[in-house]
A and B are shown apart, each in its own frame.
Chain A
């Protein structure tokens, strides 16, 4: 494909990415969210504003992505809406903010741990005292002076004294929960606040009654429920925070790749400067074993570079003057001087980090169900708790029983697990993908990939190396040397792989190429140029036919060469067929293995190519592909993908991301092979950085594993709540089963969150087979 074609493809791609181009996109960090109801509340608040086309809030990353029309709404208004909903919006300004966020998260986790320790230290004795009281048969000794029978007020006061610090330690549940209740969007904190608050206030009332001589209220103390439930919820939240930190380890690893300083040459001297101080154009010195701090082009020295953390490619890559190198890659044994071409947020590594972060922040369609349920869940739970309590009261149960039911329902129904089920799995899944060199551009891409049952592979550059060599020249009336000189001179401006092969072959033969007087690319056909006063047409048979060139004299050669799998290029000089040139591309080493894997996964594999059927079939047979789509022009590839989709297939298109851009966009999942250009990154849903076709089955397997993980998480989250609520409401008790105490409700709820996050973390062990 020539330059014009590339530009056309890019323009076509841009045209197929419609809506968001008019909207301004922004991402904000949002503090104060604790559950899926919170993220739903923020989304609701922002969506109410006019001019908002996208509001997606991610609980796992505590970030929100918003697209808005600046003519209708401002960023300030969006921030105000978030603030009014009870949460704190903060700007994300690239790397600095990212580090600050990381530091803040670490600090916050530390504070959570301290609060948890305080709560646990005070809750443990309350639990002990309460257990000795509730289960006297255990024979737990307690000091005589705090016996519940003989000293009921002291018994109550000691528990009150131990509970208050726990309440203080967990005060955020009350401040946030009550605030969100008054703002009309009750959340998990509201349930905890109302549940434990009810238990605490009733116990306080019971304490006053004991003081007034009603000792029987010593049986109505629920301080231990309030304290232990708060502690367990805090434990769950702490473990959740620790686990959430681990889910973003992939990004941390990427960020740690770069050194904090760089050695640059300034005024002839080597000086060490902070990474931020490296400027575009600086000459950077990298010693053996050190990391490249920024992107650049090697000026001096030869080395091998380990780019495995960037691309997943395990073998070191050889570099020499003129080679590009990326910041974050590891220098081998050579001393290198290179010119910085991209620094800061513009480096490839920063872009990858941003891409992964954006992907982790995007919701999968499967998350919508959890979002919808979470949005209604808390108000429904409040109603269920009240109804259950009222029903038992009407049935004649005493106040203690009714309160137990009320508190247990509120506590066990906290939807934190539901809110974490999808985003944590997506975070770990996309993070794991990034580690393996598979960049998933969001939850939707991740989810759709698991449904893929047909993969269309572009031949050139995907199945093959994309660097064909000139193998045969057949001439008709011209000498081989003249034909090659004219054709190579005509093609020297072309980027088409076969054109490059011809030019390279001429240069290898030390030919002095001529400067073409004119040059025109004809998309899907070839080129027309004037060289040394002669009109040269080089391209496929269609180009010849359309220009009334008779190619029958080359028919026999064409058939022979095509059967050998060669790609053919006819050359006509001044309106007469002069030569037939043939080139062959080398199949990538891993193509056959990758295709076999795809087929073993039950996926139909198609090869799409502009080559004629014979040539295409030879390559297809070599790599084990049964379905061949040959003679397809670049502009027709999207149509072929569409045709497969109409036949009921879920199609992934794998290409180099430039000439295949329309097809990548048309496909259900577009996969760009190689680091590619911005167009590739923009067009594709998945970027396979290592340039290895094995990443295609790996991406699909990772997607399948992630979606399976999400389904498990959602099952457990729903299971906990659906089973827990009737249990806590006393339905099981009604049929002779046990009554769930608030303490066990709190433990179950904490366990549900931790189990969901732990299950998501299992994805970190995903391996490419």
Chain B
């Protein structure tokens, strides 16, 4: 009888524990990536104020660039920037040299003058933001799947339509503090020889689900800046 009682206890306890685990899992506090990722970005822009150029008053965007060429543009009010809430902007010449056929550009791509733009639309956002961090993370508020954490590189990432902006969780302990990532397959479809894009590194990365993805990378070590 005592054993039966114990077994019932185990079953009841197990159900309770599992319920608690599911509850905890559903609790937003359990989303530690969402909890800690804005802080890491804030630390980077605070440590390297030159990275950010604020033109929000004139054209609604923050500009983040290390080399002055490849830049992340972040809208401070998504309702004002249409399909271009966040963009990776980089010189188009290396891509044209590698075979980019601009006539084939589809959603998420644009060429404006001598700049190649990878765009992303996150809807209308939650209103005007006062800081570059808040502006960046307004993208995640509408869709949590836009935020990623890459364990191998210890990077957070914000997904764009055809690319990703990644930054180090701890810039003091990482040699790739900021990384621009372009998906290679769509570029190949646009005629680009992804192995020969000047200034960009072609690499095959592995996703969490085991699938692999080809990308073009441009990484920066801010300490070496």
Q: Which residues of A come within 8 Å of B, CB atoms?
A: 107, 111, 114-115, 118, 122, 135-141, 144-154, 157-158, 160-162, 164-165, 168-169, 210-211, 213, 215-216, 218-219
Report A-chain residues with C-beta under 8 Å of the C-beta of B154.
Answer: 215-216
Q: Which residues of B come within 8 Å of A, CB atoms?
A: 3, 7, 10-11, 13-14, 17-18, 20-22, 24-25, 30-33, 35-36, 145, 147-151, 154, 169, 206-211
**Dominant secondary structure at the A interface:** helix
Q: Pick the contact of A144 from B11, B145, B206, B207 — CB < 8 Å?
A: B145
Q: Pick the contact of B30 from A107, A157, A215 — CB < 8 Å?
A: A157
Contact A136 B17 (CB under 8 A): no
Look across to chain B and name the residue whose beta carbon is closest to the beta carbon of A138: B210
Q: Pick the contact of B14 from A111, A168, A210 — CB < 8 Å?
A: A168
Report B-chain residues with C-beta under 8 Å of the C-beta of A154.
Answer: 24-25, 30-31
Look across to chain A and name the residue whose beta carbon is closest to the beta carbon of B150: A149
Q: Pick the contact of A118 from B10, B150, B169, B207 — CB < 8 Å?
A: B10
Contact A215 B21 (CB under 8 A): no
Report B-chain residues with C-beta under 8 Å of the C-beta of A118.
Answer: 10-11, 14
Report A-chain residues with C-beta under 8 Å of the C-beta of B149.
Answer: 149-150, 152, 215
Given contact pairs A147-B208, A213-B35, A215-B33, enumerate 8 new A-B contacts (beta carbons under 8 Å): A115-B10, A118-B11, A136-B207, A146-B25, A150-B208, A158-B25, A161-B20, A165-B17
Contact A165 B20 (CB under 8 A): no
Residue with the highest number of chain A CB atoms closer than 10 Å, among B24, B206, B207, B208: B208
Contact A213 B32 (CB under 8 A): yes
Q: What CA separation (Å) do A146 and B24 show in the bound complex?
A: 12
CB-CB nearest 10 A-B residue pairs: A161-B21, A165-B14, A136-B210, A154-B25, A153-B32, A149-B208, A139-B210, A213-B36, A164-B17, A168-B10
Q: Pick the contact of A151 from B13, B22, B30, B210 — CB < 8 Å?
A: B30
Contact B13 A168 (CB under 8 A): yes
- Report the minimal beta-carbon distance from A99 to chain B, rounded to whole angstroms: 19
Report A-chain residues with C-beta under 8 Å of the C-beta of B10.
Answer: 115, 118, 165, 168-169
Contact B210 A161 (CB under 8 A): no
Q: What CA separation (Å) do A572 and B107 show in the bound complex?
A: 132
How many residue pairs link A and B with beta carbons under 8 A? The number is: 98
Q: Given A151-B30, A168-B10, A215 and B169 touching (CB < 8 A)? A: yes
Report A-chain residues with C-beta under 8 Å of the C-beta of B206.
Answer: 136
Look across to chain A and name the residue whose beta carbon is closest to the beta carbon of B169: A215
Report A-chain residues with C-beta under 8 Å of the C-beta of B24.
Answer: 154, 157, 161
Report A-chain residues with C-beta under 8 Å of the C-beta of B3.
Answer: 107, 111
Q: What CA separation (Å) do A213 and B40 show in the bound complex?
A: 11
Report A-chain residues with C-beta under 8 Å of the C-beta of B150.
Answer: 149
Contact B31 A151 (CB under 8 A): yes
Contact A152 B21 (CB under 8 A): no
Contact B13 A149 (CB under 8 A): no
Report B-chain residues with C-beta under 8 Å of the C-beta of A168.
Answer: 10, 13-14
Q: What CA separation (Å) do A136 and B152 show in the bound complex?
A: 13
Look across to chain A and name the residue whose beta carbon is closest to the beta carbon of B147: A150
Look across to chain B and name the residue whose beta carbon is closest to the beta carbon of A144: B145
Report A-chain residues with C-beta under 8 Å of the C-beta of B210.
Answer: 135-140
Look across to chain B and name the residue whose beta carbon is closest to the beta carbon of A154: B25
Contact A153 B31 (CB under 8 A): yes
24 interchain pairs (CB within 8 A)? A107-B3, A114-B7, A115-B7, A115-B10, A138-B210, A139-B211, A140-B210, A146-B25, A149-B150, A150-B33, A150-B208, A151-B31, A151-B32, A157-B21, A157-B30, A158-B22, A161-B20, A162-B18, A168-B14, A210-B32, A213-B32, A213-B36, A215-B154, A216-B151
Contact A153 B21 (CB under 8 A): no
Residue with the highest number of chain B CB atoms closer than 10 Å, among A118, A148, A151: A151
Q: Pick the contact of B21 from A135, A137, A144, A162 — CB < 8 Å?
A: A162
Q: What CA separation (Å) do A165 and B30 show in the bound complex?
A: 21
Report B-chain residues with C-beta under 8 Å of the C-beta of A152.
Answer: 32-33, 149, 151
Report B-chain residues with C-beta under 8 Å of the C-beta of A150.
Answer: 33, 147-149, 208
Q: What CA separation (Å) do A128 and B121 show in the bound complex?
A: 36
